[in-house]
Structure 1
């Protein structure tokens, strides 16, 4: 069987799933927007509780609180891998499709809420904090979630077609590519976790929030 060059395979994948990628990106963006709006709906006591938690966190950070970097890295990477692993599992079933969409939306909501809350409470300093400590690792995490979400929905739709429309279609090659994609994205998330563990705390120490 003739092997298709990686560049052509990637181009074919993007062309085949372009509309799905656009849909997932729009869904994620809606989550970000909703998360930012959600900040304004918080009750005063909820904002005070969050402020107290963040103030304590930044105080401990600036006082040089010792944190085990290995444990922090494992925690961060574990959380990321669990997220894409769950999306992978949901993509293996037809009923998991809507849950994948919800997970993509919720990821956007968390990002939007985090940035929105920092900006709401500390204005320009908060935006700077978000730009230096939240954005960098999310430049890797967000594309991974979008790619994984698209792949999960695509595989789930393929299962639907193979079961109800194209009976007898060999699904194994697509399953193999789907699984290999998860492994590749896992390596990318490990880089994001390294940045989150070792670089982000250093950047946050440079910013004083008042």
Structure 2
């Protein structure tokens, strides 16, 4: 790419620098530097990219198991730990917030607003095969809201989207949610994934 200019400068000096030995020293330098030379063989840089990609790429839905951990009650709310386990055979990364919402039934319609993001800044979590990460969801006791404002409605569970995926996972959790979409009503809050 731009570094190709650097390759031309090394070829410009007198014939003393033209032997194959100077080309040999050029290849290791370009394979180690971030901007590789356009003259460097593609067969040298491509394997290094392919070898490292599996360890740094995002976890995909097919290699994640999503489950609901031990529910804990608190004053005015309930803590719902959503656990993500790497069931694949490679190391991958979870980064950000899962999407969480109440649903009327498995595969049913969403009830009220989806979870709003809260908590500290999101940081990437590297998951080796068999390792797990967790995102804490805070479910407000909606009975604390007025009936007219909340419009209470029975829900059967949660629809969960793992960070950076588009596949939904249903988790059974019968409770009561607010059918209203009034932005002043916060029935669910979700924190970023973190190491367990």
Query: How would you bin the TM-score normalised by the shorter chain?
Result: under 0.3
Higher helix share: 1
Higher strand share: 2
Q: Which has the higher contact order (CA 8 A, sep 6+)?
A: 1
Compute the TM-score of the two structures, normalised by the length of structure 2: 0.23
